[in-house]
Structure 1
Amino acid sequence: MKKIPKFVIPVTISAIIFLLAGLLTGTNPYFGGTLNSGDILDQYLSFFQYLHHILLGNLSDFSYSFANGLGGSMAGNWGYYLLSPLNFVVLLFPAAKVNLAIYTIILLKIMIASGSFYFFAKSIKKVPESWAMGLGVAYSLSAYVLSYFGNLMWLDAIAFLPFIVYGLLKIIKGNFSILYVIFLAITIVANYYTAYMVCVFLGAFFIYQAFLEFTNWKAFWKSARLFIISSFTAGLISCIASVPTFFNLLENKLNYHLLVTPIQTKLLLSVLPANFLFAGNRLLIPLVYIGTLATLFLIAFFFNSSIALKQRIASAVFLLFLFSGLFSTKIYLLWHGGQPPQFYPFRYAFIIVFTIAYLATISATTIQISKKRDSYIYNACFAVLILIYLLVSRKLLVIETNTVIATIVVFILAVILFNLYLHKLIKPKWLALFIILDIFANTYYSYSKISKNVTPYNPYTEQTAALLSKLPSSAKNQRLDKSFLINNDRSDSYLLNYHGVSVFTSNNSIQISALGGLLGLPSRGYYTFYSTGTQLTDAFYGLKTFIKTNRPSDFKGFYNYGLRNDLIGSKIWYQDKENTAYQTQGFPLAFAGYRVNNLNLKENEPLSNQAKILNALTKNHYTYFSKAISAQETSDNMTLSHEKKQLILKQIKPQKSVVTFSYKAKPNTSGYILMDPSLMSWADYNDKLSAVDKITLNGQAFRTTPVSLQPIGVHVPANGKVVLKLYFRENITQKSIIDPKLYLLNQKALAQVIKIAKARRMRINIWRGNLVSGNVKIKDGQALITTFPYTKGWSATANGKPVKIKKVLNSFIALDLPAGNYKIVLRNEMPGFKLGIAISLIGIILLAIEVYFFKKRKS
């Protein structure tokens, strides 16, 4: 019977720890737990449903998908989220179990990371087998992985980095490494973002290691040429993914700059020691914890006289370079490709984790007492670390007492074991056992802190899918959206394969999001959420159905936003005890209208902006809203005063307050109250940041999101009274908000403009991701207007002849055509995809030549 390969041991241990910790903390979906890490609930479950659709043959949505909000290029989403080679695991699971598929993919990446670091560590001279195994487990379940495993597209770089560096070390010694080329290419394909960080690291690591290995310039230039050629080859092979992604980034992400929070170096350095010790899982600082023993051996590395002074100094400089993001905002941005990370800072920290594991491995292999004072130096450094943690980091981070005690206990045990090993009183296997137990404890601790306030994925998916299945097919032949979501995932259109408006992806069209914000939607940067649409935005976006629910947010992941009471009285597609699917009236997907771009849309004037767009596209001058109706304002604990468009509220006593706005309006009409975004919050974890405990409209509690001035749908009852109440928290001593005015909707004017647009519609024959075709009549001065966004890759023909694509509202596809009847065909091909394939083939041929050349040269 053959022996089990030794790499299986750390791989198995990592898997057991991950699965067992998840089981014990309720985060293992194999046993009924719910995944809740990173953006897994907000984005990736939906993206993997999209992947499932594509892999099962829905290839028309490969390059451009109408499930991507109003429609959008998918190249960036493929390059960022979906190209990991392990993602094909999704085919092994039914669509309803995609959460299990994702968990399995995460598990496999963790196992590969454990095995790959073990493989790498074993290549270092004199490394004990058990220590390589222990650090393999620690590397695969570092604090970075534990905190970010939900962003599973980042894990490929962690899993493959040890293979890449192993190959790079061979290159530095003057040997060609096919392992380096292949795994670097896979890493770039899997996720361009972390691959960028890896490439920066590899360049620095080459200089660092080449300096240590330097013998003469001839040998250096030989290895440098080999490094450049190998890296270039890997880059060529990856072009099938990187070229289309780059074209997409040029259109979107690289043209959008988020606000940057400056790096606070002094604070970061003061609290950093906490993340080098047990329970070091604080997200605001680099996640570098891979076991207390690894930290101790890292410190010892720089005082270990068995290691050449040159190597220690070079390693210190190299490590300082990796930590450079703590010292400068510009360098921090450089590490992240020029874009400031949102919510997950120091994303490049996984390369610091690898370097710590690498240096700790060398340290444990070479450490010995050459002088009696060595032991005192090591322990003095350890004492300084724990003192900084206790006196500075603990207080600044407000770490709870139980965690501090646990950290001290683990630290003391680690120091004892370190000294026993230093004096050769124990074998390396005891160090490995301790670091494995340490990692298991930290994994359990990390997962126990994960919020359980989430809705189980499968029931929500099944219930929502069942709801949509009850709608007639005609309700879904245009766009559909809704007021509720699960765990802030605004991409249910991916999940359930329908055409919507809401979307959340870091490769979203910035122009479309900005336009949505000007129209009063919670829409900014990378997302659009259609919770506060109006009947005018229903018309503009071509919405056929809007689903609202009376199910309240239950603070377990299900959230009901907006109100849309303006739809009361509209026709209903379907209704049950909890849900109502309204029949909304929208413009056609494409129609003969008028191309406009510069409408001078203004911030905080959403209703005016909506009216401008509808009139401009149809060349009309309808008035869609009444003049502002002011409320009678009263409060039980605040003085109220007006200053321009602002309402100033000042607390009288330090207690909760209620402000009431009473409106009188025409009975049985619809309208909108413009609500200041500072009164709102995203979800339960942000509730305390809101100024109010609750908001009610005619006694009905509701919530919306803290993004843009939003119109809240109102139905004026038969008594003509509308009452808005704001329940302020007791800590709100003074506040200024935009005065909430009521605007009634002119239903007749809206119906007339919709009728005009429908009469000019393009009769659609085909509507899918890469192809839209139909017939339309164009009159003098008109253009074909569409309500789906333009991206590079679209081409158009009219009656078989190519037509140049223009834009309407600086965002959507439009065609300028002479008067006449036309058969329109719009096609989409992913920009750069064919070019990327061609370059990748060249890269593969080049790799084959290199393998042949270096193999022949070696023989």
Structure 2
Amino acid sequence: MFLYQHHRLYRRKILITSFLLPVILMACYFAYRQMTPFGKSSLLTVDLGQQYVDFFSYLRNTILHHPSSFFYSFSKGLGGEMFGTNAYYLLSPLNLILLFFPAQHLATGITIVTLVRYGLAGLSFAWLMQKTELQQGWRILAFSTVYSMNGWMIANQLNMIWQDALILLPLIIWGLLKLIYQNRVGTYIAWLAVILIDNYYMGWMIAIFTFLFFLWQTPALASWRQRGVIFLRYLGSSLLAAGISAVILLPTFYALMQSKGTYTETKIHSRFEYFAPKMLGKLVPGSFNFNQMPSGQPNIYIGMLLMLGACLYFFNNRFDLRRRLIGAAISIFFIFSFCYEPLDLLWHAGQFPVWYPYRFSYLFSFWCIYLAAKVLQPDFKIKKRSALILTLLIIAIYWYVGMLNLSYINSNQRNIGLCFALIAVSCLCIPRTNSPRLYDALLVLLAVCDISMSGYTALNKISYVSQPEFGNYTIALDKSVEKLKKHDPGFYRVAKTFMRTKDDPFQADFNSGDHFGSTLEPPIPAFMGAIGQPDGDGFVTYTNGTQVSDALLGYKYTMNARNTSAGQALPLSGFRPDWYSYPLVGSTSAVNLRENPHALPIAFGANAAILHLQRTTMDPLNYQSQIFQTLAGRPTLHSLFAVQNFNSVKFNNVQSAKQITGTIFRKQNLLKPASVQLEFIPPTNDSYYLTLGPNVEDNATITMNNKKFTQYDTFRNTVVINVAHDQKGQKILVNLQLKKATLWMQNVSIYQLKQRPFMASLKTLQESPLKISSYRSNRIVGTVNLQRNQRVLMTTIPAAKGWHVKVDGKPTTPQTVLNTFMAIPMSPGKHRVEFYYRPPFLILGLIITVLSLGLTGWWVKKEHQIKTIFD
């Protein structure tokens, strides 16, 4: 009994150390880089700083303040479903740790959660080693630490949403081994269901890997009949795991088909994506930099010792030849997946990744480490001849990598990597019997130093957002939003002229028109681009509004950044002089808050002609006018915007032209600066707007009145910029300096908003507002009194199948207008209207989950009874 307890304590010490060792190693690096809480820097970079941190803030607000946002949120662009977003980004239980960190200190929480994930990955792999008895004692730390800090984990440290896969993968593999060799399915079903719920994207990749791993294990089974039975057990268990997660998967799958799934590749090309031998560069420690994020090779570094061990598996006669051949086939399949387009698409569920290529490469790292664990047993030792061959091969590989001139590898990295490789070969030549403890210590030290040096080198090449930069902005934004909510606790949208990220509305919990995320529904960027806003396949931002679009979309309040004695405190993203005429309702040290008296509510009475309006113009201002006039029941031919002429144009080192818009200007002297200066003097105090095509932003540096132009610089359609309001007779100079030899003046025009017609149409639309009596993120209830010429309740709620509408207690089918919004036909008069959102297929998914849980419970109980009988 004493020996048993001592053995258990010894094993637990190894598991605890397997958790603590990567935590300590990474915490030391974070302290060295002064990452919060160790200093003034942070882990925020790229998507983690521009997207995920805001989603974490949204999750915190949802759990602590308004749970209905779990299903739908008006902070997602103009409004959008959140089930698919949550399933992709936020369902990791480790995110609950972030609840203990206020918004401005989320970066500290992210550091803590990242360290915990490193530790849990090491603990999980060490646990697998103990259960399978592939490795014993302190030697396990060599494998668990390398696994937790492998090249994929380091390169994707900023992609926290995927890291749970490394923690759960060893548990799933242990469950699969129990299914194959012990006929016990419960562990496999449970952990596979957990990863599918935690992150279905990573779950898909792991499901493919379990099939490959299953094929590798089957030669050990006695007969083909037995293999068939085990395969059916594996298939049934996998389906049950998917069934248990159906309550998440079915609504998410539908949401994806409306958003991310629309970008799935329909044509697959049989081609290699790059010169395959470039992958050899990833065998060098620290082989990563920023340029590898958007496009690069797979991150597979696991240290030279374990990579050599994995390679030696295929030549080790101690293992069954059939299994070695299948293992070789799996390895080749992985390698081809890293460069051959059809296989790459298979792992990524039919979509090419936008940045972070070969996201499944962590599976190859696990595979290699697992093979190395089988090979590098205490009695393993290679012969001198094998050592010589390995040495020559390693030298040849490192020489070839040097010839490739890869930007993410320098000579120091190659030299250090070569030294680690040669030391590893020497280590494999030494018999362990002479001094087992010293040998094991050397093994662990070599593996840990190798992987740590690689991780530190790679992370040193990445820059990060400072904690004050993030925290101070978050505090300023939160203060402004809190003040606005105290002034008006109602339902409305807010526009602003500053931005840290496009998910600021998630960060500070307010409704706006900005969003950046993989699950953004395509109609939203299409509409926003059509009215002159910056947009892309995965983002929208409301930085280029007009008085018309502000009114239409219900931007009741605006936030302007204030100039301070220290200069501009908040990063600007737009310019709206037409807001300065709005009444000031509050201010903070960094922001002025104003109320837009022209804003319409989320729903209002409108003319039925809107049901049939089609977009017939590519001009964003004319399109805004068509929408507004149609809603008001006025002729669309009478545009609310009138084209204005520039008062004068100066041509510097380019040819002169009578017409500006559409002209291609060319440098006359390629060695000298060239520019086109547009002068405009407003003849009235109305609002004036400048339109610019995306080609202008790409090929010209723009200033206005000799000041830097504050405009969000990523857009693919013509944008609208407010250049003047209440500035009659004041000169406005717009200077476009050529960046290249030519400049196409794409859609460069000045428009005047005709204030009287706009106010007349607005007055008509303000006659029948939806008076909201209660609202939540997924439910709005109110009353409306439609006028005689109004037979539609127009909303600016994006149309979605999950929305249900009741008018006077009776279900009503909403229609989609402008290919974007819901509109509800109804008769004139007073009506009570209720909108509520339920994710499609949620009920069906819940039913399947309950049935799958019941069937799994029955199956596990039956297995236990059979085992009890045989025992």
TM-score by length of 2: 0.90
Show the 5 A alignment for 1:426-437: 427-437=439-449
Paired amino acid for 2:394: F
2:341 maps to which residue?
329
Of the candidates 738, 749, 757, which is equivalent to residue 741 of structure 1? 749
2 CA distance for matches of 1:126 and 1:742?
A: 73
2:450 maps to which residue?
438
Show the 5 A alignment for 1:364-443: 364-365=376-377, 368=380, 372-392=384-404, 395=405, 397-399=406-408, 403-424=410-431, 427-443=439-455
Paired amino acid for 2:677: T
Paired amino acid for 1:72: G
Of the candidates 479, 487, 493, which is equivalent to residue 473 of structure 1? 487
1:605 maps to which residue?
619
2:775 maps to which residue?
767
2 CA distance for matches of 1:126 and 1:619?
A: 77
2 CA distance for matches of 1:737 and 1:325?
A: 44
Secondary structure class of the residue paired with 1:365: coil
Q: Deviations over 1:365-406 (max 9, x none)?
A: 3885676532232223212321221112xx1x2346xx3213
1 CA distance for matches of 2:568 and 2:595?
A: 30
Whether 1:639 aligns to 2:655 is yes
Whether 1:529 aligns to 2:546 is no
Cα 1:755–1:154 shift into 2, 3 Å: same
Whether 1:726 aligns to 2:736 is yes
1 CA distance for matches of 2:216 and 2:593?
A: 63
Of the candidates 213, 224, 227, which is equivalent to residue 234 of structure 2? 227
2:837 maps to which residue?
828
Secondary structure class of the residue paired with 1:181: helix
Whether 1:505 aligns to 2:517 is yes
1:294 maps to which residue?
306
Q: CA deviation at 1:340?
A: 1.9
TM-score by length of 1: 0.91
Show the 5 A alignment for 1:273-352: 273-281=280-288, 282-283=292-293, 284-352=296-364
2:373 maps to which residue?
361
2:804 maps to which residue?
795
1:593 maps to which residue?
606
- Report the identity percentage: 24
Q: CA deviation at 1:606?
A: 0.9
Paired amino acid for 2:641: F
1:685 maps to which residue?
none
Secondary structure class of the residue paired with 2:359: coil
Q: Deviations over 1:313-372 (max 9, x none)?
A: 322210222233334323322221122211221112121221121222223238856765
Q: Deviations over 1:502-538 (max 9, x none)?
A: 1122111211111101111112222110111111211
Cα 1:737–1:158 shift into 2, 3 Å: farther
1:460 maps to which residue?
473
Cα 1:581–1:354 shift into 2, 3 Å: same
Residues 381, 431 of structure 2: 8 Å contact kept: no
Q: CA deviation at 1:306?
A: 4.2
Cα 1:523–1:230 shift into 2, 3 Å: same
- Give the stretch that moved more between structures: 796-805 or 696-705: 696-705
Cα 1:735–1:312 shift into 2, 3 Å: farther
Q: CA deviation at 1:186?
A: 0.7
Cα 1:327–1:417 shift into 2, 3 Å: closer
Secondary structure class of the residue paired with 2:766: helix
Q: CA deviation at 1:278?
A: 0.4
Q: Deviations over 1:19-70 (max 9, x none)?
A: 1111111334454431224522112222222211222251222211222222
2 CA distance for matches of 1:6 and 1:234?
A: 31
Paired amino acid for 2:678: F
Secondary structure class of the residue paired with 1:559: coil
Cα 1:696–1:740 shift into 2, 3 Å: same
- Give the stretch that moved more between structures: 627-636 or 282-291: 627-636
2 CA distance for matches of 1:577 and 1:462?
A: 11
Q: CA deviation at 1:715?
A: 1.0
Cα 1:557–1:791 shift into 2, 3 Å: farther
Show the 5 A alignment for 1:477-556: 477-486=491-500, 489-549=501-561
1 CA distance for matches of 2:268 and 2:536?
A: 18
- Give the stretch that moved more between structures: 819-828 or 300-309: 300-309
Q: CA deviation at 1:801?
A: 1.7
Cα 1:295–1:693 shift into 2, 3 Å: farther
2 CA distance for matches of 1:642 and 1:127?
A: 80
- Give the stretch that moved more between structures: 420-429 or 701-710: 420-429
Paired amino acid for 1:242: L
Show the 5 A alignment for 1:656-735: 656-680=673-697, 690-693=698-701, 695-697=703-705, 699=707, 701-707=709-715, 708-715=717-724, 717-729=727-739, 732-735=740-743
- Give the stretch that moved more between structures: 621-630 or 275-284: 621-630
Q: CA deviation at 1:555?
A: 14
Paired amino acid for 1:416: I
Cα 1:644–1:627 shift into 2, 3 Å: closer
Q: CA deviation at 1:559?
A: 3.3
Paired amino acid for 1:330: P
Residues 588, 757 of structure 1: 8 Å contact kept: no
Cα 1:555–1:525 shift into 2, 3 Å: farther
1:620 maps to which residue?
634
2 CA distance for matches of 1:458 and 1:416?
A: 46
- Give the stretch that moved more between structures: 265-274 or 512-521: 265-274
Whether 1:250 aligns to 2:257 is yes
Q: CA deviation at 1:500?
A: 1.2
Q: CA deviation at 1:623?
A: 2.3
Q: CA deviation at 1:579?
A: 3.5
2 CA distance for matches of 1:614 and 1:197?
A: 48
Cα 1:76–1:857 shift into 2, 3 Å: same
Residues 502, 527 of structure 1: 8 Å contact kept: yes
2:435 maps to which residue?
none
RMSD between aligned residues: 2.9
Residues 14, 111 of structure 1: 8 Å contact kept: yes
Secondary structure class of the residue paired with 1:796: strand
Cα 1:376–1:260 shift into 2, 3 Å: farther
Residues 384, 429 of structure 2: 8 Å contact kept: no
Q: Gaps (5+ residues) in structure 1?
A: 681-689
Q: Deviations over 1:78-125 (max 9, x none)?
A: 211121122222333344433333333322222111111112233455
Secondary structure class of the residue paired with 1:341: coil
2 CA distance for matches of 1:467 and 1:477?
A: 16
2 CA distance for matches of 1:6 and 1:649?
A: 70
